[in-house]
Structure 1
Amino acid sequence: MDRNVSVPGAQIPGWRRIYAGKIRDLYVPATQYSPYGPDVILQVSSDRISVMDHVQTSAIPDKGKILTALSKWWFSKLSGIVPHHFISADVPRMVAHRAMITARLQMFPLEFRVRGYLAGSAYTEYTEHGTVAGVPLPPGLELASKLPEPIVCPSIKGRAGGHDIDIPFSESVRLIGEKNAVMVRENATRVYKTAAALCAEKGLILADTKLEFGISSEVGTQEVVLGDEVLTPDSSRYWLARDYCPGKQIPGYDRQIIRDWLMSEECGWDSSAHTHPPVLPREITEKTRNRYLEVMHRLTETKDFL
């Protein structure tokens, strides 16, 4: 698979594609004689990037490899902390370094953003209501203030092209059951606290992260399992510790570079006009790639996959 791939649908011998997403394609074994058994997924990450509910025309070179390397590294660090779906990096050569084999899960129809700092839509909610995900917070907090405790914010997917919709925890209980909702909240909090501590050792701040969970398809098992990618710049808000200054906008080592450009006068795109964003300038794609690489290098201390 070419490193600048932006079109889904590559055919992989021995595997059958079952899903083509904005960023990832999912495959299952073409026969039941897979060395890992039939209940596995080959998860392939492309270089496509989705920002403000649009898959950008421009890809980010090596992005799929960066996300895969980071996810594998984080899954190794989370083993013994929470159950997760990662099995192996022994994947077909044509998708080497940008794919991983995982257990097949029955995914919950929710996403769970764990917020440790007041940023993005959480800051907007706080300024308007004094809450985050409906949880009351002390008065006087500033933009980028550290929260007293991490808050798990469930959301559901909006309609095609629409923003995700935040929901109260009580609604997640209705949708997936109280036992599952409580277990997800506990596991998500555990993931965030573990990751935030590791980031601090590497000069990074994990402001927030989006996680997805499901139920293992293994017979007789009803275990809540961490799935999808994990703790990448696509799904998380990273800051450099040296840049941290509450009360100010902090440079993000994530997709914020692209968001900022799309909203700039230079870009001239009207996000409310229901038109596709213009092609990203090479400067923006390179800057995004470099910031993703900065996070990966700081955390994993390796450059071997490139």
Structure 2
Amino acid sequence: VECVARGYLTGSGLIDYTQTGAVCGVPLPDGLVDGSRLPEPIFTPATKAEIGEHDENVDFDHVARTVGPEVAERLRELTLAVYARAEDIARERGIILADTKLEFGAREDGTIVLADEVLTPDSSRFWPADDLRPGGPQPSYDKQIVRNWLLSAESGWDKAADAPPPTLPPEVVERTRARYIEAYERLTGLTF
């Protein structure tokens, strides 16, 4: 189970909301647009997809059936707690943490532990707070630069053809690297 916390509406959450008025079974108010801040952060789990595929959003009941209700509730609590703390820190530094994906594991004794990457531009959407303009895509410190290039005609890649993606051109790598470094420096206050 991918544990996703969302404080803003965008991405697959926006698609769900547009179709159903809810995200992962969590009803949301009418009138929200891409980039809208949610009334409160929500837990929006997903199934882990195969490499190259998209995770599939699921509701809390699906998670409870998969891992049991107590573990599901604990995953929701931990996910929202990590998001809340990280969102506070990011906001203090002029960055919005729109959403983040966390993964957890369990020790032999059943203790739930945070695993894999945490709060990176690959697993989170970080937006410059001073550039927030709800109603469309937001400037971002994530891997969207790479996604956009891969989906462009310039890349020549047909994802549906099962061919591996092409090598990224140096300028796409450099633009992505520069955004990641900017995010790092803004979030940590350190020079890379």
Shorter-normalised TM range:
over 0.9
What residue in structure 2 maps to residue 226 of structure 1? 114
**1:83-232 correspondence to structure 2 within 5 Å:** 110-217=1-108, 221-232=109-120
Q: TM-score, normalised by structure 1?
A: 0.60
Alpha-carbon distance between aligned partners in 1 of 2:72 and 2:16, rounded to the nearest angstrom: 23
- Equivalent position of 2:151 in the other structure: 263
Residue matched to 1:102: none
Aligned equivalents of 1:172, 1:198: Cα separation in 2 = 29
Amino acid at match of 1:246: P
Identical aligned pairs, as a percentage? 49
Partner of 2:133: 245
Tell me the matched-pair count.
192
Match of 1:31 in 2: none
1:205, 1:155 → 2: CA distance?
A: 22
- The Cα of 1:168 is off from its aligned counterpart by 1.3
Deviations 1:66-102 (A, max 9, x none): xxxxxxxxxxxxxxxxxxxxxxxxxxxxxxxxxxxxx
Residue identity matched to 2:165: P
Name the stretch that deviates more: 272-281 or 143-152: 272-281
Shift of 1:278: 1.5
Aligned counterpart, 1:27: none
Three-state SS of the structure 1 residue aligned to 2:65 is: helix
Structure 1, unmatched stretches of 5+, are 1-109
Distance 1:141 1:275 in 2: 37
Amino acid at match of 1:260: N
| SS at 2:161 equivalent | coil
Where does residue 178 of structure 2 map in the other structure?
290
Aligned-partner SS, 2:103: strand
Residue 241 and residue 160 in structure 1: after superposition, are their counterparts in 2 closer, same or farther (change >3 A)? closer
- Return closer, same or farther for 1:140/1:227 CA change in 2, 3 Å cut-off: same
* C-alpha distance in 2 between matches for 1:205 and 1:159: 29
1:272 is displaced (CA, Å) by 1.6
Larger Rg belongs to:
1
The one-letter code sitting in structure 2 at the alignment partner of 1:233 is P
2: CA distance between counterparts of 1:199 and 1:162? 29
Which structure carries more helix by proportion? 2
For residue 10 of structure 1, what is the aligned residue in structure 2?
Answer: none
How far the C-alpha of 1:160 sits from its partner, in A, is 4.9
SS at match of 2:45: strand
Cα pair distance change 1:290/1:264, threshold 3 Å? same
- Give the aligned CA root-mean-square deviation in angstroms: 1.4
Q: Trace 1:62-101 onto structure 2 (pairs within 5 A).
A: none
